[in-house]
Structures are given as C-alpha cells and as structure tokens.
Amino acid sequence: MTRKDFRIFMMAHPRKIEDIFEDADLARLHALGEVTINRGSSISDEEFNAQARDCHVIMGQFDMPAERLDQCPNLRTIINLEGNFLPNIDYKHCFRKGVRVLSVSHVFAEPVAEIAVGIAIDLGRGISRSDRLMRRREERWGLEANQNALSLYDAKVGFLGFGDLGRALLPLLKPFRTSFKIYDPWIPEMVIEQAGGAAAGMDEVLATSDFVFVLAGATQDNQGFLGAREFGLMRDGAAILLLSRASVVNFPEMLEVARSGRIKIATDVYPDEPLPKDDPTRDVENLLHSPHQAGALTSVLKHIGRGVASDVELVARGLPPMVCKQAQPETAARFRSKPVEQS
Amino acid sequence: MTRKDFRIFMMAHPRKIEDIFEDADLARLHALGEVTINRGSSISDEEFNAQARDCHVIMGQFDMPAERLDQCPNLRTIINLEGNFLPNIDYKHCFRKGVRVLSVSHVFAEPVAEIAVGIAIDLGRGISRSDRLMRRREERWGLEANQNALSLYDAKVGFLGFGDLGRALLPLLKPFRTSFKIYDPWIPEMVIEQAGGAAAGMDEVLATSDFVFVLAGATQDNQGFLGAREFGLMRDGAAILLLSRASVVNFPEMLEVARSGRIKIATDVYPDEPLPKDDPTRDVENLLHSPHQAGALTSVLKHIGRGVASDVELVARGLPPMVCKQAQPETAARFRSKPVEQS
Amino acid sequence: MTRKDFRIFMMAHPRKIEDIFEDADLARLHALGEVTINRGSSISDEEFNAQARDCHVIMGQFDMPAERLDQCPNLRTIINLEGNFLPNIDYKHCFRKGVRVLSVSHVFAEPVAEIAVGIAIDLGRGISRSDRLMRRREERWGLEANQNALSLYDAKVGFLGFGDLGRALLPLLKPFRTSFKIYDPWIPEMVIEQAGGAAAGMDEVLATSDFVFVLAGATQDNQGFLGAREFGLMRDGAAILLLSRASVVNFPEMLEVARSGRIKIATDVYPDEPLPKDDPTRDVENLLHSPHQAGALTSVLKHIGRGVASDVELVARGLPPMVCKQAQPETAARFRSKPVEQS
Amino acid sequence: MTRKDFRIFMMAHPRKIEDIFEDADLARLHALGEVTINRGSSISDEEFNAQARDCHVIMGQFDMPAERLDQCPNLRTIINLEGNFLPNIDYKHCFRKGVRVLSVSHVFAEPVAEIAVGIAIDLGRGISRSDRLMRRREERWGLEANQNALSLYDAKVGFLGFGDLGRALLPLLKPFRTSFKIYDPWIPEMVIEQAGGAAAGMDEVLATSDFVFVLAGATQDNQGFLGAREFGLMRDGAAILLLSRASVVNFPEMLEVARSGRIKIATDVYPDEPLPKDDPTRDVENLLHSPHQAGALTSVLKHIGRGVASDVELVARGLPPMVCKQAQPETAARFRSKPVEQS
C-alpha cells in the first residue's frame, strides 16, 4: 500500500495529542499516510463520515457501534488511547469483521510496578510513617524505629492477578530472593511456573504471604472479592497493596481491618475519586494512601505514542500489531473498567 | 584441633547475645569448643585474664591494646559484633601477630539496600508526600499528583562509594534498566566495570545522575566532602539519598539545598542522633527523614550470629574466615566510625 | 458449558499421541469432555464427519479446507501438533469464522536456544575440533589449541530474526555480558530495545558481530537472503550459526565460504535431509554439522501435551488460549515451512 | 609515596610480558614508578640483588625463600603471573613480614566457565558426537540423533568445589532454571545458599545430579577423591565434566566408566600432558576430550595485565589489592598445583 492510500484518524479526548505523542512519533504516523486529528471532545456522525470513515486506523474513545463500523470499509484497527477496553465499541462486530481493537494499558504496567515496590518497602520498613513521626517529634530511632519491620528479602510474595502488571512487577522483586504464589483464574499453571511463580488458590495466597499485591483488573466476576473473610486469612503483620481497581475490594471492610492495625494496608484506588475531604479514612494511621498516582506519569504518557506509532507502522505494512494490548473475543465483554477522567 | 582445645570468648555489649544469635547458631559455637560469655558492659584485666586470655576467638568491642594482645598466645581472630572497625583494637599489632580482625558490617548491606530502593522510589514518585497531603486534605490526584515525578526506569544512577552496600544495591536497581556511574577512589575501574557500572569522577556522577546514592563510609579523608558546591552540580529535580554516615556531608549546606526545593533529598543519618525535637529541619517539606533505621532490623541482627558461627567454624578447622568483613592493614587505620549506641 | 457438551478430536500423525502427551495431560483433556483419537495417517471425509465435525477443538495436520470448516458448527480452535503453520488449513476462512489456529512451535524454542549456545561455544572455542584432533592424534595443547579462539564473553552478538527462538536465546547469552544487534523486519525497534537489544539493518548485524545467529523462519520474502555477499560482510574469524531453515541461505555459497576457512560456520539444517552420504560438505573441516537435532528432543515433545492441555482448558472455559502460538491473519499466508518428516 | 620511590620488578617466565600486558597496562605500571623487567628464565642471586631487592612489588614465579625475602626491605606484594600458588615462595615468612602474595588465577575462571557450559551442552545434546558421525556417514537425524539427550533446562546441577570457577559458572547456568547442589568442605553452607545453591555432601551431589562439574583445585587432602565408587553413585545417563585438575580423579577408574557408556564424561585435564599418542583412551567413543584448553586463551592472558596493573596501582597508593587472588596463611600450604608448562 502506498503512502497516499493509508489513512489514520485520531481523537485523543480526554487525553491531549501533545501529552501522548512526541513530535518524532507523530511524524512517524504522518510518514505512513494521511493523518486527520480531531481535537474535540465528541464526534458527530457528520464529522465521523467526513474524517474517519475511510480510515485504516481509528484512534479514540468515542462510540463505535455496529452502524459506524459498517461504514468503514478500510478499517483494520481501532486503538483506545486511554488505557482500557471500554464499552464504547461493539467488540463482537469488530471480531466478525476482522478489525483489531487495541489499548495502550500496557504502558502503565511499569510505573505501577515501580510504585508497588516503593509502597511495599514503605509498608514493610515504615518509611512514610517514620517521616510523619519525625515531623510530629514522635519518632523512634534505629532498632526501635523498626519494630514489626517486614523485609522483602526472602519474603513470601502473593499476587492476586497476573496480567501485564504482575509480569512487570515480578522481575523487580526477584533480586530480593522472594518466592511467588500467584492466583489468577484466567492463567494456566504452566504460564505461572514459566514466569517463576507457583500457582495457588486465593485463600492460600492470602494465608501464606508476607506481601500480597492485588493486581486483578475489574471484571464482571470479581466485584468485591476481597472482604473481611479474605483479609482475615492473612498473617498478623503481613502487608497488602491494592493497586488495580477499588471495585475488587469490599472497601468498608478493608478500612475496618486497617483500623485494627492487624495487617499493613496501602491503596492507590478508591470507590470515589477524589476521596471526599471529610472521609475519616484519611486519618487511619495504619493505611498508606496514594491518590491514584501509581500509573499516571507524564513521562509514561509519551510511551503511548511510541507504542502506537510502532503498531500503526506494522498495520500499514500488513503485519500484526505487537506492542499494544489486543482485545480478545472471549474476554472483551467481561472487563468492567470505567472511563477515566483525564488520568 | 579437638573440641576441648578450642576456646571462644564473647562479650556482646552494647548488643545482647540473644539479639544476635539464634539458639542453633550458639549451639554451633558450643559444638566447637568451650564458650565463655561475659554479659557485662566492660571487662577488667582480671576478668580478661581469667576468661579471654587463652581463647582462640574473642568477640566484642572492648579494648584490645597491644598489652592484652600479647597475653593471648592462642588468639587467631577478633570479631567486632557491632558492625564497624572501631579504634578499640591495636590493629597493627594484630596484623604483625597474624591475628585476623573481623566485623559483621556486611549484614547491614541488604537492609540498607532495600530501604534505599524504597526511599528512592519515594523521592521520585512522592509516596510519603502524597500520603502526608491526603492526611492534610491537600492532595492532588492522578497525573497532578505526579508533577515532577522521576522514575527509576531507565534512570541514570550514581553511587558515591562502592563497598558492600553498593554491591547489594546494584542488583536491586538493575531490573529498572538503570545505568550506573560509580565514584570510589579505593576501587579500580576494572572492578566497577565487572559489576556492571562505569567508573567516573565525583563531579561527573553528581552532574549526570537522576538518583545519587551516598554510600561512602566515613574515613579520615572524606569528612564533609559533599557540600554546597557538590549539591550545586546536580540536575534540577534530581534526587540524592544519604545512607552511610552524616559526617561525609556538610549538613547545614545540605539543609539549605533541601529548603530550596531544587533537588530531592533524603537522609537516614544525622550529625547528632537523635535529632533534637526543636530542630527546624524536621519541617522541611522537601526532605525525607529516616531516623537511622536503614540497617537496624531485629531480623537482620540474627544474621550476625549465623555469619559469625560460620566463620568461627572455619577458624576452628584451620581455614580462613569467609563471611565477615576483614580488617586490612592498609585501611584499618583510616576508618572513622563512631561506636554506635545500641543500634 | 458442561463436560458432556465439549468435544475434542485428535489425529497426531505423523507424531504419536504417546510421544507428545503424558498420561496426566491426556487425562486433563478427558476431564474436559469427550475426546476422540484417530491413530491413522489420513482421514476420509466419512471419518471426519463421524469423528471431528461436531468438535470444539480439532488437533492435527490433515486438510482443513473451507468445505470441512463449514461443516464444523462448534469449532473454536484447530491445533497443529507438529510445530509449524502448514498450508493444510484455509486460514482466511478460519479467521472469518472466528476459529483460532494454534501451533506448538514454541516448545522448540528452548531446546534450540540451548544447542545454539553449545554450538556457539563450540565454534568459538573449538570443542568438537579438538576432540576430533585428539582422536586423530593431531591435537595441540593449552594456548596452542586455542589459536583463533573467540569467546562469548563481552562478544558482539547478532540475531537475524527475533521470534520465539531469539527470545529464548537472549537470556542465555546475557550472563556473558554480550551486546545484541538484532535484525527483524517484522519487529518494531521498540520491542527489540525492551528485550535488551539494538535494532539494526542486516548488513550492519553481519559486519559488526562476533557471533551471528540465523533464527529467521522461512517466509515467501526471505528465500536465500544469506549468500556470498552477506557472508562476505562478516569479520575474519567471526562465527555464524544456521539454526532455523535451510531455505533462508544460499547453501552452495555458504559451503564455499566454509571451505575458505575465513569464518566459522555451523548448520543444523540442510536443503535435503538427510544429507546424501556422498555429499562432500561432510568433510569440510571448518563446518560444524548438526543433523537437524536442535529442537527434536523426546523430552521436549512432552511439553507439547502440557501446553495443549493448558490451552484447551482455557478454550473450554470460554477464555483465549495463552500457551500455543496463534496464527495471525496478516502473516499466516507468508510462512513457508514444509511439513516435517516425523521430527 | 612519590613516583620515583616506587619500584617494580617483573620476570614473567615461562610467560612472556607481551602475552599478558597490553601496552596501556604496562604504561600504567611505568607511571607508578621504576619498572625493571628481566626476560630470562631464571634469576641469579646477583641479578636478584641488583634488580629486585629494593622493589615494592615483585612479579614472577622464581624462588623466593626466606633468605631472599629478608633482603627486601620495601617488599609489599609478590605476584605470581602464571595462575596458581606454587611452592616457590616461603609463604609463612611472607605472612610474618606482612608481604601479600597474589596470583592471577581468577582470570581463568570465566574462560573455563564458558567452555564448561559448551561441553555440558555437548555431552547432553551430542554436538561433537553428531558432527563426528556426520563425517563418518553414520549420523542419525532429528529425534533419533537425540536419543538419550539430556537438557540443561530444569536440570539438577552438582558442583564439586566452589571457588572462583564455580562462582563464574553458576550465573551462566541459572537462565536454564537449573537447581544447584554444591559440595565444598572449605565453604560455609551460608555462602553457598547466598549464591543460590544448596550445600550437600559429595555422595548426594553425585547421586542426584544430571550434570556434575568437577571444579575442585588440587589440595593435599583430595588426591584421587573421585573413583569407581563415586562414579558408581551417578545416575544412568548423567554427565560429569572434569575441569580442574587431573589429580583429583582416579583416572584409570574414570576411563573404565567412560568405556562402559553408562554415564557421559568429558575431561580437560590429564595425568600426563600431552597425552601420549598411543594412549587408548583417545578412541573411547563416550569420552569428550579437551586438550587442556579450557582456560588458556590468548585474549584472556591480556586480562592478567589489566588486573595486575589495577592491583599494583592500589598497592602504590597504600591500599589493599582487590583484583588478584590472595594467598591465605591457612590454605597456602595446602594447594598442590604443579607449575604449568607455558599454558
């Protein structure tokens, strides 16, 4: 296909093109063909027909029902630029027509994995607690500051969920000589073993781990699967980090446990964000708060553009995309992520 | 040598035998020969002559001048159980007599390396700052919480000093695809390269690194070597972590820089510990405080006992010790650590 | 779906069911539903209709033209048990109908990677040559045996092709501190960089590498892409290993180069296998011969069964397969592997 | 110490200065002080007094009895440039006088580790055997070539001895997901565990390993410790590689086992080197021969010079050497290496 025959349509809203594309990566797209950018926040049928209908690649989070899909004779790939598979697309229709649907969620795996390591060490070694006590003139020193400390070295680590995030986190923990028990009902035991972990049931992971990382995306099947019973299985003094979606946890029960001080808890996600100012959980001593900042780095957003450009280059050459995450017919309908508000 | 001929003397003060030896490791020592334990805080010449003089291994931090050394015909090894080479021993006399002097400082390398990773991620990603702001009802969310964030991934890392701590820290950072520039005037370029780093001058390390880890032990040559000029070389927004000894830094100048907010700073050590309650540095927003808790874990102290038992077993068999750190004739006189107060 | 509704059909020819399935893995399939096994070497339409037509999973290498596909209302997945995507299937028709086509080629990546390391060290250090010379009473000793030796340590390594095999090989070479230049026109630069290599053109890879690993599968585009010109780009004394398909090399020109002794060459594949007894290349001193044994381990065949059972379990639960390699609409038509004769 | 006060003496025989020093490394020595090079093969007392007596560093393998040592008032370090601690030096006298004795044996660890990996894969996968059979027109193809193949992947690996060589070899094997059982009576269990292995008795290592690497240097205690009884403990089809010293094995009994074909054997060392032409072991099909070529690479010899220059720079600055291996009072008398003949 020659350059003039290839057409790309982009509407990044609620992101901004400039936030996710370096100039060099935009230039790569322009080198492939004709690029139309819509900077609005919604697209009318008229605009759609004028700008997107003939394109081979469509990027954006706007509605793509069967009716629109059927008007796109050249369409090969739709790319969500936010980071999740949202219900804006008629996935079944895409699969029937051989249109690939991609998301850029993979770029968030590394920054979340990084902060997961930082938060785990913080829970285990009391970094933010000691800093807080220093400011309150209440700190203790040396050995006494480390009462009940928990080290990652030689620790038993549990993962609930083993997708991109788990795969990014595992190699960061390995140098601490940790062992891994992993629960993910969608992943074969064999895949977990090849990654260096041991497959286990959820209860076993909770009951035997020093550090539990909650990494499971929200699906229709796992709403609130972590509650009082599950936290109750954990060892005294163990740590649990909620890094994926608030909806997988029974939040009030988690806060109850946090208040008890029996286990160490951190969360990056909340049922309502931002958390109301008067929410009393803000003052729970034994809960490390992170205002949904795990994945949302400016520097990471630029990785979106590089990955998208790489995949669109492949698509333009008639090759399958390799960088972005691809929606699968079997699972596309099961995810339950909400659209994010500019994050 | 038969069991009844081998004698061991231990006076752990200011540590406690029970803090550093598991029962199993004490049993290993008892299996080697006769073990005498003195639980006091000082030892008179009379006690010394009665308890330690004939021993093959002496453990403790009490005075060992030439006069006492000359009274110990069987002595092969002296082990400091605190963690540094202190000026309590006539090192020259030991070397002349073929007495090895060991310390257990190596056990602190891993816990300090662990917290160094946690603090680095905290400085870069604002973990404790965001938690503090959540408690103050002043936090920002998502992308906005991550303004000026600095990621370890693909970061340029600088080490000032490359001893046990640097060697423990380096493999924890490698999975982040960091590159390493290392300054240590005592270590050949070749050794640094084999470890996976690049040797560089101190100014270059400071000027080019995203994260600078200050890991240099205190010597007679490096008092206050990091001051306003050196901090001034660092990039805007870069991070520096002081993890070894407060004396290598010009502390007032460091605090000045912290107040400016130009770079991110964390310290685990202070010129006077504990820091006075009214010290104004406690309130500096841009300084992460850690009350000398990096190495002092209860769980780590038990590693002392295991390492000591391993080395004393070797000594009893006429083999060189392998686990503890050994004083070297060339450098023993240069270290300037102060005795620690029960940490 | 209940167990009694799920149906699996297997015809392993030219493999044997027992070679590729452990009892435990066969039992996993039987636990999923009704399993029909055909031990013949071909399947008539009559047999097909009776045994395979209603199945959800069909395994085998027999013909699956559109006509047969259209008779399979439940079919979700076809699995080739040999190891390549062969032209026995109407791929386009499968993609249209949402039928996934899998192959088990991934299981061969590790054994080939292993022998690639062994052969590379053999070429570099002369293991088989020295053994041969010992048997001829012509060996040299010590330093003299190592004239022109080439070490993997700190070597510049080049890959031509970066699929499963390259990904398996790369971590085996990394501990030798090798650097990697990788040429693969189907793989984005970004993917190569994330794996730890640098993307480069083919000529650059050839001209700058100490060891070149030819890992490219045969496609319609790369027949004979390595010939006299390309070998001529290589450094004196460098080594090249042909591990994928003979058809990517101009074999006569490669043999010419081998005879010259200018570079070190090994091959595991030949245009005609077995190589005729009277083929004069058998006696070329400077060519390491491997009779297509790189991937074909009995122990590896059992991995096929485990992977297949894992993926069929996922399919039975309505989830996407994760272990086997999946045919992609864009590339399925481009591969040019020949059916293997029982290997 | 100023440059003009520092003196270095070198007599490399039986090596050649040019073989072990790059120009740049020689220049580093010259930059430190006055360098005297003796190119002869022995040194008279007269020469010694004129050339070496006042030196701070003496390099060479010539006799250094107490009488000569006592004539060297400045001597701090003696460096053996061949690679072993030989009985040419009065070690006790050195230790008494505080003279360090170094050897460059560490440089051979990596090349031997490399060829050990190559030979292990060769034994397991039949690389040289298949090449030999190709030349004889007797080869088999594909699966049949791999009868009794043994893969390093997931293999149980045993080390007999865990010095420099074991430490270099272990990280090369780890990517194959091997487990390690290690026998070394001089090394504490704790050190072995920290390296990622499990300490075990010799019989257990032999009886449970797929691959046994014999890495033990020759000492007064381990002559012929591997004989018929020990080989008899090994599993059918397991592999054993003799890479250190021939004297640790009962060679006739090893050959008997090799002839039986019950286990796979390779050796790089022989009781008499070169092996006589008429030695019948040359024709044993099931024994991989390597003519003492494991460590002796031209390229490796240059590493000697770089390491020596690095250490002498430290010595000149009054610091302890860090690169070369240091003789220890406890073990110096136990090693039993013979001087090598130019290798």
Residue D280 structure tokens: 């019948």
Q: Which residues in chain A have Cβ-Cβ distances shorter than 8 Å to B125? A: 114-115, 118, 293
Q: What is the mean pLDDT of residues C174-180?
A: 96
State the Cα–Cα distance between residues C16 and C41, nearest whole angstrom. 10
C288 in contact with chain D, both atoms CB, cutoff 8 A: yes
Tell me the ipTM for this assembly.
0.94
- The reply to whether C333 falls in a domain is no
User: What distance lies between CA C24 and its chain's CA centroid?
Assistant: 26
Same domain for A231 and A138 = yes
The Cα C339–Cα D342 span in angstroms is 53
Structure-token pair, residue D265: 């054997």
**Nearest-CA residue of chain C relative to A309?**
C188
Q: Using a CB-CB distance cutoff of 8 angstroms, which residues of chain D are in contact with residue C298?
A: 143, 146-147, 149
Average pLDDT score, chain A: 93
Q: Between chains, do D330 and B319 touch, taking CB under 8 Å as contact?
A: yes
D326 touches chain B (CB under 8 A): no
Question: Is B139's Cβ below 8 Å from some Cβ in A?
Answer: yes
Provide the domain limits for residue C25: 3-104+298-326
Give the residue from C47, C102, C56 showing the smallest Cα distance to C80: C102
Interface of A with B in 296-315 (CB under 8 A): 296-301
Contact predicate C244/C267, CB 8 Å: no
Query: Do B310 and D186 lie within an 8 Å CB cutoff?
Result: no
Closest CB to A282 among B125, B134, B296: B134
Please give the average per-residue pLDDT across A106-122, as a whole number: 96
Is residue C336 assigned to a domain?
A: no
Q: Which residue has the tokens 């509407």?
A: A11
Q: Looking at the 3D structure of chain A, how many domains does it have?
A: 2
Q: Say which of A115, A121, A137 has its CB closest to residue B114.
A: A121
Q: Is the domain of A63 the same as that of A167?
A: no
Q: Are A196 and A180 in contact (CB under 8 A)?
A: yes
Say whether pTM exceeds 0.90: yes
Strand partners, A170: none
What element of type H or E holds A326? strand A325-326
Give the pLDDT confidence of B193-232 residue by residue, as tens digits. 999 999 999 999 999 999 999 999 888 788 899 999 999 9
- Please tell me whether the peptide bond between D171 and the residue prior to it is cis, using omega within 30 degrees of 0: no
Question: Is residue D256 located within the same domain as residue D120?
Answer: yes
- If asked whether residues C40 and C176 sit together in one domain, one would say no
CA distances, A329 to each of A99, A332, C322 (Å): 11, 6, 13
Nearest to A142 among B141, B289, B296 (CB): B296
Q: What is the pLDDT of residue C297?
A: 86
Q: From chain D, pick out residues whose CB is under 8 angstroms from the CB of C270.
A: none
CATH code for the domain of C314: 3.40.50.720
**A125 and A231 belong to one structural domain:** yes
- Closest CA relative to residue A228, chosen from A255, A247, A204: A255
Across the interface, of C125, C141, C142, the residue whose CB is closest to D115 is: C125
Q: Point out the least confidently predicted range of A278-287, B51-60, C4-13, D187-196.
A: A278-287
Per-residue model confidence (pLDDT) at position A217: 84
Measured in angstroms, the CA of A71 and the nearest CA of chain B are apart by 36
Of D223, D250, D270, D239, the C-alpha closest to D123 is: D239
Q: Are strands D100-103 and D325-326 parallel, antiparallel or unpaired?
A: antiparallel
- Say if the Cβ atoms of C139 and D298 lie within 8 Å: no
* Per-residue model confidence (pLDDT) at position A215: 96
On whether both D226 and D188 belong to a single domain, the answer is yes
Contacts of C189 in chain A (CB under 8 A): 310
> Looking at the predicted structure, is the pLDDT value of residue C189 above 60?
yes
Residues B211, B157 contacting (CB under 8 angstroms): yes
The whole-angstrom distance between A161's CA and the closest CA on chain B is 21
Domain annotation covers residue B339: no
Q: Are residues A277 and A307 in the same domain?
A: no
The residue whose two tokens read 């797929």 is D210
Task: Compare CB distances from B188 to D98, D310, D331 and report the shortest one's residue.
Answer: D310
Tell me the chain D residues in contact with residue B98 when contact means C-beta distances shorter than 8 Å: 95-96, 329
Contacts of A307 in chain C (CB under 8 A): 190
Residues 157-196 of A with CB under 8 A from C: 186-191
In a domain, B178, yes or no: yes
Q: What is the model's pLDDT at position A178?
A: 97
pLDDT of residue B335: 62
Is the backbone peptide bond immediately before A73 cis, with ω within 30 degrees of 0? no
Position C339 in a domain: no
- Same domain as B128, residue B89: no
Q: What's the pLDDT score for residue C27?
A: 98
Low-confidence ranges of chain D (pLDDT < 50): 338-343
What are the chain C neighbours of A318 within 8 Å (beta carbons)?
Answer: 330
Is B292 touching A (CB cutoff 8 A)?
Answer: yes
**Using CB atoms, which chains have 3+ pairs under 8 A with B?**
A, D
Q: Could you state, in chain order, the average pLDDT of each consecutive group of 10 residues for chain B (343 residues)?
A: 85 94 97 97 96 97 97 97 91 95 94 98 97 95 87 97 96 97 96 96 98 90 92 98 94 94 96 92 92 88 95 96 95 62 35
Chain C, residues 50-89, CB within 8 A of chain D, namely none
Report the pLDDT value the prediction gives residue C1, as an integer from 0 to 100. 59
B142 touches chain A (CB under 8 A): yes
User: In Å, how far are A127, C152, C182, D121, D212 from D172, measured between CA atoms?
Assistant: 37, 11, 22, 12, 15
Q: What secondary structure, in 3-state letters, does C47-71 show?
A: HHHHHCCCCCEEEECCCECHHHHHC
CA A262 to chain centre: 28
Asked whether residue B158 falls in the same domain as residue B257, the answer is: yes
**Based on the domain organization, do B91 and B202 belong to the same domain?**
no
Whether A188 and A241 share a structural domain: yes
Chain D hits for B323, Cβ within 8 Å: 188, 190-191
How much is the pLDDT for B1? Answer: 59
> How far is Cα B153 from Cα A339, in angstroms, rounded to an integer?
27
Q: Please report residues of A whose CB lies closer than 8 A to that of C313.
A: 188
**Alpha helix (H) residue ranges in chain B:** 17-20, 23-32, 45-51, 66-70, 91-97, 109-125, 127-135, 164-173, 189-194, 202-208, 228-233, 251-260, 298-316
Say if C130 is an interface residue toward chain D (CB within 8 Å).
Answer: yes
Tell me if D139 and C277 make a contact (CB, 8 A cut-off).
no
A343 and B142: CB-CB below 8 Å? Answer: yes
Mutate which: C322, C326, C331, vs A, most A CBs within 10 A: C322
Amino acid identity for residue C6 in this structure: F
**Do residues D141 and D254 share a domain?**
yes
Dihedral (Cα; C77, C78, C81, C85), 10-degree rounding:
-120
> Nearest CA of chain B to the CA of D306: how many Å?
8
Q: Which residues of A94-123 are buried (b: 16+ CB within 10 A; e: fewer)?
A: bbebebbbbbbbbbbbbbbbbbbbbbbbbb
**Band of the pLDDT at A343, cuts 50, 70, 90?**
very low
Partnered with residue D288 across adjacent β-strands are D266
Of A188, A311, A314, the CB nearest to C323: A188
